[in-house]
């Protein structure tokens, strides 16, 4: 059995949700205050679930507004069974946080390791997104995606 990190998904929306999830989880890692790694992981996971629920709710309401009628059960079921990619790649940095703490790293250092992991994931996603671009454009795509993580690391260092 091999562990495969999915940076891209079946749909553009799924890929975007995965990237968005890594960015949101990084922001929570920077700003949340928890005494233990598992509590911080729990805070991140609950936050991502709230974001997922809010997005799904907004899509259902928007469909009602734009279609002029209540969405049917099929449309609601589709919304409630999609978009989970917001959680997928976010699990890797959370696992790094737990492993770093278990290996004896202090909380701030463990969070930094998790943020570095997020930054690498974002950079890899940028690289994958730029697959059909010219080499220079692909590098820019990678740097822009990774910059989101870089800003989070900067904020962590600045705030703590």
Q: What is the pLDDT of residues 89-101, one digit of tens each?
A: 899 999 999 999 9
> Does residue 3 belong to any structural domain of this protein?
no
Query: What does the buried/exposed string (b/e) look like for 56-88 if buried means 16 or more CB atoms within 10 Å of the residue's CB?
Result: beebbeebeeeeeeebeeeeeeebeebbbbbbb
Per-residue pLDDT tens digits for 17-51: 889 999 999 999 999 999 999 999 999 999 999 99
> Does residue 1 belong to any structural domain of this protein?
no
Query: What band does 56 get if pLDDT is binned at 50, 70 and 90?
Result: very high
pLDDT of residue 9: 58
DSSP label of 89: T
> Does residue 129 belong to any structural domain of this protein?
yes
Judged by phi (left if over 0) then psi (alpha if -120 to 50, else beta), residue 117 lies in alpha
> Does residue 101 belong to any structural domain of this protein?
yes
CA torsion through residues 45, 25, 126, 115, sign: negative
Q: Which ranges constitute the DSSP H helices of the chain?
A: 12-31, 37-67, 73-80, 85-88, 91-102, 107-129, 135-159
pLDDT of residue 3: 44
Query: What band does 8 get if pLDDT is binned at 50, 70 and 90?
Result: low
Number of compact structural domains in the chain: 1
Q: What average pLDDT does this structure show over 53-66? A: 91
pLDDT of residue 63: 86
Q: Which domain holds residue 67?
A: 12-159
């Amino acid at each position: 059995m091999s562990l495969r990190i999915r940076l891209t998904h079946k749909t553009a929306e799924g890929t975007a949700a995965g990237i968005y999830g890594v960015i949101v989880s990084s922001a929570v890692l920077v700003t949340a205050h928890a005494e233990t790694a598992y509590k911080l992981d729990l805070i991140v996971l609950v936050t991502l679930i709230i974001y997922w629920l809010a997005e799904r709710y907004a899509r259902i309401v928007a469909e009602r507004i734009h279609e002029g009628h209540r969405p049917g059960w099929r449309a609601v079921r589709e919304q409630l069974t999609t978009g989970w990619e917001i959680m997928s790649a976010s699990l890797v940095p959370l696992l790094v946080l737990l492993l770093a703490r278990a290996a004896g790293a202090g909380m701030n250092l463990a969070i930094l390791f998790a943020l570095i992991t997020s930054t690498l994931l974002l950079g890899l996603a940028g690289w994958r997104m730029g697959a059909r671009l010219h080499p220079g454009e692909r590098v820019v795509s990678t740097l822009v995606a990774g910059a989101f993580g870089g800003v989070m690391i900067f904020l962590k260092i600045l705030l703590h």
